[in-house]
Amino acid sequence: MLKFLSLAAYLGMIGGLVWLVALNALFSRWPIVIGLQCGAALFFLWARITFGRRSYHVGANPTQGGLVTTGPYRYIRHPIYATFCLFTAAGAVAHFSWITGLAFALILGSALVRIFCEETLVASQYPEYAQYAANTWRMIPGVF
């Protein structure tokens, strides 16, 4: 059931992204939005490089090879989801309307579902995850 929910949430995240693109509301000429999105893209790259050659799973299947707790994973458990949300939030806020807000809500809600599914599955494979989770934030240091 968790893998199905995770897959549905993945589709929700992609659907929200496509929706923002279709609304022409993902990118902006505002320097603040450009800066936030460039920062999010760089943080995403750092997270992806730190994660290494492990395969990406559309479903929230834990990867082999142990927990990654270095790089951005030292501070937050889900830097890729955090950067995806930051990148899309910046675009949605720059073009704010109820429809872009709804598209971003789909992305954020889907990311949260995916996070909770993934954490449950990873904790079942890696007993040390509980200690790691106790010392890191999910997406926003000091907040969540």
- Buried b vs exposed e over 116-136: b needs ≥16 C-beta within 10 Å? bbbbebbeeeeeebeebeeee
**pTM for this structure?**
0.91
Q: Which CA distances in Å does 81 have to 31, 32, 44, 98, 127?
A: 23, 21, 9, 23, 23
Q: Which of 25-29, 38-42, 82-86, 121-125 has the lowest mean pLDDT?
A: 121-125
List the Cα angle 73/141/2 in 5-degree steps. Answer: 60
Encode pLDDT of 98-110 as tens digits.
999 999 999 999 9
CA distance 124 to 68: 16
Which residue ranges make up each domain of the chain?
2-52+65-134
Q: Please check whether residue 132 is in contact with residue 63, taking contact to mean a CB–CB distance below 8 angstroms.
A: no
Give the model's pLDDT for residue 141: 86
Encode pLDDT of 47-98 as tens digits.
999 987 765 666 666 667 778 899 999 999 999 999 999 999 999 999 999 9
CA distance 42 to 107: 20
CA distance 113 to 59: 12
